[in-house]
């Protein structure tokens, strides 16, 4: 990564200061919406919306299903900010730009990051429409040296060598599992390992077979960089994947995946996802304890 790709602490602070001057809302929870999942922001009360193009320093989202808006509001009385649309490597963004909002959220006072994505299933028992609680990830671009923390470390955000073994908060995962049981939707909610690939093409059969053998349950083109930066910043992280398609693992399979189909499945499961996230935020203690008693 070249020095021109670096973003200074002042750059993040300038964006955060601009947002703090535009709204009186002070979010404690940030939610990043994956492809077709922007409806999560619809549940926010007392909404204030900013288009990415109006926010100083913010990248622009170019993908169908990503509205490109930052929405402030409340979920179950908890102050939140929601990204309707994220940024991806395959759009041409550097990883510094892809993860730019996460550090801005930290400077806004956010304590917990909820990430969602649309993903293809590799696990044999998964079906389109299933929801996967992410317990861990494999960051394939990171294994090849593409990491959002490359370059000089900003000690104001976190340490040079952050541990990732506990990136996904176990207490939040347990709380989500409890909520799923209470909602009566356990039959299509899983817990598994997410893998990020660079995209924008979907996987070859050989790539799918490799990931399946490695123990990957679902694969997508986002999430890992944001989780890495959030963990570096000291944020708690909770992740959800909506399974929108089965990844082709056989040369005899005549089915293929497309982005339009991904968006269709997202619409079908939107209410359940919205209810799960809303209830999770409602029962979450924003003072770094997992849930209220």
What are the catalytic residues?
35, 66, 88, 90-91, 118, 221-222, 245, 259
Please give the torsion angle defined by the CA atoms of residues 165, 137, 95 and 238, in that order, rounded to the nearest 10 degrees: -80
Element (DSSP H or E) covering residue 118: strand 112-121
Rounded CA gap, 112 and 288, in Å?
8
Rounded CA gap, 36 and 42, in Å?
13
Rounded CA gap, 102 and 87, in Å?
11
Peptide bond into 218 cis (omega under 30): no
Peptide bond into 2 cis (omega under 30): no
Residue with tokens 């009566």: 184
Tell me which residue of 210, 44, 233, 36 sits closest to 138, measured CA to CA: 210
Rounded CA gap, 202 and 211, in Å?
13
Residue count of the chain, please give it.
293
The structure tokens listed for 77 are 């009385």
């Amino acid at each position: 990564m070249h020095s021109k790709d670096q973003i200074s602490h002042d750059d993040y602070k300038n964006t955060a200061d601009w947002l703090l001057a535009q709204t009186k809302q002070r979010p404690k929870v940030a939610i990043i919406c994956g492809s077709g999942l922007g409806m999560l922001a619809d549940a926010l009360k007392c909404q204030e919306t900013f288009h990415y193009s109006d926010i100083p320093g913010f990248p622009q989202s170019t993908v169908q299903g990503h509205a490109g808006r930052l929405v402030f509001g409340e979920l179950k009385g908890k102050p939140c900010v929601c990204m309707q649309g994220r940024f991806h490597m395959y759009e041409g963004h550097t990883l510094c730009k892809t993860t730019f909002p996460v550090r801005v959220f930290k400077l806004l006072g956010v304590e917990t990051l909820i990430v969602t994505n649309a993903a293809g299933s590799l696990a044999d028992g998964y079906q389109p429409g299933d929801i996967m609680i992410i317990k861990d990830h494999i960051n394939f671009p990171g294994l090849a040296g593409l990491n959002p923390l490359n370059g000089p470390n900003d000690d104001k955000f976190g340490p040079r060598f952050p541990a990732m073994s506990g990136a996904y908060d176990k207490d939040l995962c347990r709380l989500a599992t409890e909520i799923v049981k209470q909602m009566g939707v356990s039959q299509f909610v899983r817990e598994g390992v997410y893998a990020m690939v660079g995209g924008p093409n979907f996987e070859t059969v050989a790539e799918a077979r490799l990931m399946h053998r490695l123990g990957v349950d679902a694969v997508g083109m986002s999430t890992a960089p944001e989780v890495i930066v959030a963990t570096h910043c000291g944020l708690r992280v909770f992740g959800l994947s909506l399974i929108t398609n089965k990844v082709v693992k056989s040369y005899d399979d005549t089915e293929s995946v497309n982005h339009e189909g991904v968006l269709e499945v997202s619409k079908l499961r939107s209410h359940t996802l919205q209810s799960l996230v809303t209830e999770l935020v409602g029962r979450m203690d924003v003072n770094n304890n997992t849930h209220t008693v």
